[in-house]
Amino acid sequence: MKFYKIGISAIILASFWAIAVIGDTDTKKSGASEAFAWKKYDEGLVLAAKSDKPLMVDFYTDWCGYCKKLDKNTYADPQVAEYIKTHFIPVKVNAESKEPMNIPSGQITGSSLAKSFGVTGYPAIWFLKPNGERINYYPGYAPPEKFIIVLKYIGDGNYKTQSWQDYSAKFIGK
């Protein structure tokens, strides 16, 4: 019986330690994601035109596990967060939202906007020129070390002079 009590005590202590470590890690990561503020789509269009920065539009849903993972791991990465803050107008759109937004062509909901971009899976990240013209999109989840390559392809203007295949080939194996 004594070994049983020691075993239970060890499991409880290990659980508290794991919770403390996980909680501490989440706090550190969430601070990094606060390096930039998400905008609504209509607000982002206005800011992009004024700043001459491209938009990064993240289409997500509340139930999407990979969307949450993208928020927690990738957007919270300090290098990714800083790059987004410096080079993009970051926009989040709930692809199931019925809340209206006012854009130059009239009112639209998040759901209608996602359909107009052909979004069928989540997350889906669209990159737009400052005038709202579509550049390209990235479907699904990407870890920070891969997503930063995508961000630099768009943010540094490399998409204007080389294909994604040529650009990304430089990073294979690194």
Give all domains of the chain, ordered by start, each with its CATH number: 38-169 (3.40.30.10)
For the chain, what percentages of helix, strand and coil (3-state, to nearest 5) are there? 55, 20, 30
Q: What are the DSSP calls for 71-105, one per residue?
A: IIIIITSHHHHHHHHHH-EEEEEETT---EEEETT
Q: Using CA atoms in the order 161, 165, 169, 174, what is the torsion angle rounded to 10 degrees?
A: 110
pLDDT(125) > 90: yes
∠ CA 94-95-97, rounded to 5°: 65
Cα(25)–Cα(46) distance, integer angstroms: 35
> Tens digit of pLDDT for each residue in 2-58?
544 444 443 433 333 333 333 333 333 333 445 689 999 999 999 999 999 999 999
pLDDT(174) > 60: no
With a pLDDT cut of 70, the percent of the chain lying above it is: 78
The whole-chain average pLDDT of the chain stands at 84
Residue 85 is encoded by which pair of tokens? 């803050």
If phi over 0 gives left and psi between -120 and 50 gives alpha, with beta otherwise, what is residue 106? left
